[in-house]
Structures are given as C-alpha cells and as structure tokens.
Amino acid sequence: MTPPPPPAYDPIPCDQKLYERIADTANQAGAREKVESFTIPIRSARAWEVKAGQVCRILTPEGPQVGDFNVWNKHNPRERFWAARTRQLQSSHVKVFDRLWSCLPYLRPLITVTADSLSSYGVDGVGGRVHDLLGTRCDPYVNQLISGTSFDFQCHSNLTRAVLPHGLNESDVHDVLNVFQVTGLDKEGRYFMEPCPAKAGDYWEFFAETDVLCALSACPGGDLSTWGWGEGDEKGETDMLSCCRPLAVEVYSLVDKDEVLKSWKGPEPPAYKGHHGLIQPVFTAEK
C-alpha cells in the first residue's frame, strides 16, 4: 500500500508542560477559583467573556449534547476564530494541546485546549473523530433550502441572538468548532455525523491566550441520534427534541497564576510587515 503523503503543515510546537500544569490545577485543592458558571438550556445559546490567563470548561451535565462554539478577540471582534486555518495547522478534530487560531491579519492562537474527558475516543470503526472542525453550524437558510420549512432555533440563529447584547450581529457569527460532535468523511468525501458519545459530566476545557468573547449554542439536533432538518416530521420519526439536553459552562481563575503561568507569554501576530507585494505610487506636488 502506498503511504499517504506527509502533512502539508508541520505542527507548530507549544509548551506542553505549561498546559499540563494548567490542566493539573483542576486536581489541586484551592488551585482554581470559580468566577462564573451557568447552564445553557436546550436549543438556545449564550455569550460570555474569558480573560487572558483564565480557564473555561464546557460540560454535558445531563448527558450527550453537541455544542456549536464561536470565539472572538474581546477587544476587536474583527479578530475571530478561523476554522479552516485551524484545520490545517492542527487537524480536522481538535485534541489536547491544539489551538484555535484567529483570522488574518492576526493569525495567533486565541485559546488552547488543556483537557478533554473524551480524549480516549480516538478514531472509531467508520473513521469518526470527536470535536469536529470539518462541518459548521446548522442554519435556517440551509434548513429552508433542504426542508422547505422555517425554524428559528438553528445554531446560527441561537449564536446571533447570544451576541447581540455584546454589540455584535449576524455577520459576526462564523464557522464553529462542534464540541462533543463526532464526524468524518466517507469514501466519496461526503460529510457524516454520528451520535454524540458524551455522558453526564463529560467536559472540554481551554485556556484563554488573550481576552476572548465566546458563544456556545446547544444544538437543536441534541445528541444527533435522530438528526433531521426542521423540527421533525408529523409521525414523530425524527423527534430531535427528546434528544436535546443542556450544556454548562464554568470559568476559573488560577489562584497561583504567577507560578503556574511562569513560562507563558501572550501570543503576538506574525511579524509580517510587507504590503502584499503592492508598490505604492509616490506622487509629487505640482509646482
């Protein structure tokens, strides 16, 4: 069998010992201080802030549930998570030590994954992996296209409502990380989804590399075990509502931040100072 070609992008190294120290604070009494926690009800979303140097944990408190996740620079929403470049620099499904990278001209990690209770899922028998970057959010436009029906609680709509109080709008909602979602590509390269493997209490955790605004939608497809467009058919054969569960969010500050983060430095954009190859004309004033 011909071996596959090498990856187009070499992994960008990170200080794994740093992120192991951050993750380990969860197991040390008094090492973290909870500064915020809330529950996201089914088929809704919420936006919240995480300061640079804080840790955020997303949980499935009642069992399997997929979440659609967006991230922005808190102080400049033009800098936001770039799913496509993250797929190339990391992989199609994120894992511990992977970063979510921001768009051009910034191109720096906004957050870094520090812990994942589903890290042992690996690759299943049909090629599925968890924490999906291949797909994007469900939205009412494609729902209308495919089903011919209107439904206002798709993840795109949920995220739009969530960011409005923060001065953002629909145009700011972007391609997502599908947390707890198992996906892959079949032999024809077509996207597939599998039921969410999370159990009550499973979690996915990240470290904020800069001040970020996050938004998370509890997908109307729930655990995706009976996924379909719209709200389900009249016969109840695609009753997604019964598969929907809440998500939970916890934000922590590190108590001994100076010691835990002693080797950490906030990321800067690449030092590209060119003008994209453009030569600017020079005009002289007429005498």
Q: How confident is the model at residue 43 (pLDDT cuts 50, 70, 90)?
A: very high
**CA 120 and chain centroid, separation:** 19
User: Whole-model pTM above 0.75?
Assistant: yes
DSSP codes, 60-124 = ETTS---EEEEEEETTEEEEEB-HHHHHHHT-SB--TT-EEEBPTTT--EEEEEEEETTTT----
pLDDT in tens, 150-179: 989 999 999 999 999 999 999 999 999 999
What per-residue confidence (pLDDT) applies to 235? 44
Alpha helices for 35-167 (secondary structure H): 83-89, 140-147, 155-163
pLDDT in tens, 106-124: 999 999 999 999 999 999 9
Q: Specify the pairing of strand 247-254 against strand 32-40.
A: antiparallel
pLDDT in tens, 193-250: 999 999 999 999 999 999 999 999 999 999 999 988 766 544 444 578 999 999 999 9
250 bridge partner residues: 37, 57
What per-residue confidence (pLDDT) applies to 232? 54
What per-residue confidence (pLDDT) applies to 233? 46
Neighbours of 260 (CB within 10 A): 20
User: Mean pLDDT over residues 38-61, rounded?
Assistant: 98
What per-residue confidence (pLDDT) applies to 285? 65
Q: Which two tokens stand for residue 258?
A: 């100076």
pLDDT greater than 60 at residue 22: yes
